[in-house]
Amino acid sequence: MEYLWILPKSPEREKIDNLVKTLAIPESIARILINRNIDDTLKAKAFFRPAISQLHDPFLMDGMDQAVDRILQAIEKKEKILIFGDCDVDGTCSIAILYLFLKEMGITPLFYVPNRFRYDSGITVKAIEGFKDEDIKLMVTVDCGISAVEPIKYANSINIDTIICDHHIPSEILPDAHAILNPLKPGCSYPFKHLCGCGVVFKLIEAITKRINKPTISYPYLQFVAIATMADIVPLNGENRVMVYYGLELINQAPRAGLKALLAVTGLGSKKITSSQIVFILAPRINAVGRLGDAGRAVNLLICDDYKKAYKLAEVLEQENATRSKIDHDTFREAEDLIDKILDLEQDIPIILHEAEWHPGVIDIVASRLAEKYCRPTIMMTTINGVAKGSARSVDGFNIYEALKKCEDKMLQFGGHKYAAGLSVEIEKIDEFREAFNEIATQILEKKELKPQLLIDAEITFSDISNYFRETLQKFIPYGPSNMRPVFIVKNVEVTSIFKMSGGDRIRMRLKQGNTFIEAIGFNLSGKQSEIEKAGKRIDIIFSVEELDKNYYRQPVQLKLRDFKACID
């Protein structure tokens, strides 16, 4: 894949010098911090030293007082509470932490997770009707509910109060709920706007524990918030960074039985868990059971206190993930074939595909992979109950929620955010929708933006990569959106040796610049090996630096190559 290399802007000299002097850090590190809007000493110290004290007062969120009062009332009166969630990682983790917290407070709530094959995702009147005879007095929605105007109206009609905990973009008309917790709600002055659904639920729990003067009760639940935050791809800065930082500590030091069992089943039981392992190993398994059937199985694992029972549940998640992976692979290949048959990528900016038999549990994954491969907004739809339903995924420079909003008259419904959305379209209007969306995308995106970008954080030399440089880089962990692993460029290096590694499309190089030799490994780069000879064995390289282990002073430097090109004089 040919990448467009994007070099960083040069920060103000005064800000660079200030951070270098006050923090005693390398200039390249200072440049990265400033370009990530960490441009003064106080911000940098807070970034390098995440602390619980950096979390905002939960009562700054509009509606929090009403929500806390109502839940404390329900706890005092031993009222029946229903937790209504979503079937993805964020939704199931949200259900789990609220369930466990209420149980700790003396209430054992009921919970409900929509089934992709039974009803629509999200809250429906039909789902609430199923609890009509359960004497429910309070329903708390987690990771959903902000658009559920009619279902909440129905809940009110049968004397069920509702507290909405959501983080999705609100519609113009809000549900008539007892309280709505959403930092994106109009009029809400909460300072941090990028919480995931589980993060909003945690703020509710944090507020309740502050009200009853037992604030530390909330902290153990951060292990679930960390998983949900990483899985939901929200920015990993501000409060999110703090919660993931401490959540990872809990997962590594004292995971709950369900998480401990899942770590054991996946072979991670004795390893240090990082944000990458959450994204690529834990989250897909939690997601898998909801994609292929009942997401309640994931909730049951997360809330389980018995390790033996949890291990059996974790094995189910592992098996379902293997099945999901095969369906995902087959669907991706079918989608590629369909692109070749029906789309003209010289004319069509977005990729919009519909196939009646595609599995609804994997089309969002496939849409993400297609968007990444072709660097185009991608919409994948299947047929459910006679309606085309699917997922939309975005690319840099394209707000897919706003684009969908411009053609909402062509859809039955849609919802989501800047990077991802869900939608439904009448079968007979798919072509009409495709034409309208294509026109909108063409107006926004230019052809030059359809090449994948490699964002570079700083230019350095091999001599800059000291132990202190590597130790300072460690302070950027945990990595995630808006705080990705720093990527560097070194120009004019000599390739002294190169060979293809066994077991995959990998190459290993020995590189030299000045008197410094460094080893580098490149994934999916063996196809470019011939370019090195053409370049006279002198290349410019893009890479990240391998993380340190405990004995890092004995750990030789190894680079993870992202790309390389012939040396540019």
Rounded to an integer, the average pLDDT of 477-483 is: 94
- Do 324 and 121 contact (CB within 8 A), yes or no? no
Q: Is 159 exposed, middle or buried, given 0-12, 13-18 or 19+ CB atoms closer than 10 A?
A: exposed
Distance CA 105, CA 97 (A): 12
Angle of helix 296-303 versus helix 89-104 axis, rounded to 10: 40
Q: How far is Cα of residue 412 from the mean position of the Cα atoms in its chain? A: 27
Domain boundaries, the chain: 4-9+456-566, 54-254, 343-450
What's the pLDDT band for 420 if we cut at 50, 70, 90? confident
Q: What are phi and psi of 233, to 5 degrees?
A: 55, 45
Written in H, E and C, the secondary structure of 53-89 is HHCCCHHHCCCHHHHHHHHHHHHHHCCEEEEECCCCH
What is the predicted pLDDT for the residue at 120? Answer: 55
pTM for this prediction: 0.92
Q: Quick one: pLDDT at residue 567?
A: 84
pLDDT of residue 102: 98
555 vs 105, residue with greater confidence: 105
54-254 carries CATH number 3.90.1640.30: yes
pLDDT digits (tens, 9 = 90+) for 135-185: 999 999 999 999 999 999 999 999 999 999 999 989 889 999 999 999 999
Q: Is the pLDDT of residue 94 over 70?
A: yes
Q: What is the pLDDT of residue 419?
A: 82
Q: Is the pLDDT of residue 550 over 80?
A: no
31: confidence class by pLDDT, cuts 50, 70, 90: very high
Beta strands 351-354; 378-384: pairing state: parallel
Q: Which residue has the higher pLDDT, 291 or 331?
A: 331
Q: Who's near 444: CB < 8 A, 6+ residues apart?
A: 397, 398, 403
Q: What per-residue confidence (pLDDT) applies to 500? A: 85
Q: Are 239 and 56 in contact (CB under 8 A)?
A: yes
Would you place residue 475 in the very low, low, confident or very high pLDDT band (cuts 50, 70, 90)?
very high
For helices 64-77 and 197-211, angle between their N-to-C axes, nearest 10 degrees:
70
Tell me the pLDDT of the chain averaged across its residues: 93
Where helices occur in 119-217 by DSSP H, the ranges are: 125-129, 149-157, 197-211
pLDDT at 447 over 90: no
Q: Which CATH architecture has domain 343-450?
A: Roll (3.10)
User: Under a CB-based contact definition with an 8 Å cutoff, are residues 389 and 119 in contact?
Assistant: no
What mean pLDDT do residues 273-287 have? 95
Mark residue 143 as left, alpha or beta (left: phi above 0; alpha: psi -120 to 50; beta: remaining).
left
Please give the share of the chain, as a percent, with pLDDT higher than 70: 96
Residue whose structure tokens are 């993805």: 88
Q: What is the pLDDT of residue 501?
A: 83
Looking at domain 4-9+456-566, its CATH architecture is: Beta Barrel (2.40)
- Of residues 80, 93, 84, 95, the one with CA closest to residue 125: 84
Six token digits for residue 119: 């009803």
Q: Are 151 and 173 in contact (CB under 8 A)?
A: no
Dump pLDDT digits (tens) for 336-359: 999 999 888 878 889 999 999 999
Average pLDDT over residues 235-239: 95
